[in-house]
Amino acid sequence: MKKKDVLNLIRYHAEKNEEAFNRTACMIAEDFSRNGDVELAEYIIAQIAPHTAWIAQDFDASCT
């Protein structure tokens, strides 16, 4: 995860751009999962789950 990703999350939230916010959050979760922090990745996905079709148990799945 890069600082830019966090800044984008804040911007998308402020702009009420749910699609971009969820896409970026999924990208961050996938990055955490790839780097071995599966628990944090699952937590992130659980927080946005009502807004995405991404399945937390399947880390190879696309967030879209």
How confident is the model over 14-52, as pLDDT tens digits? 999 999 999 999 999 999 999 999 999 999 999 988 755
Rounded distance, CA 44 to CA 46, Å?
A: 5
* Reported pTM: 0.75
- φ, ψ dihedrals at 58, nearest 5°: -115, 85
pLDDT of residue 61: 45
pLDDT of residue 2: 87
pLDDT of residue 31: 95
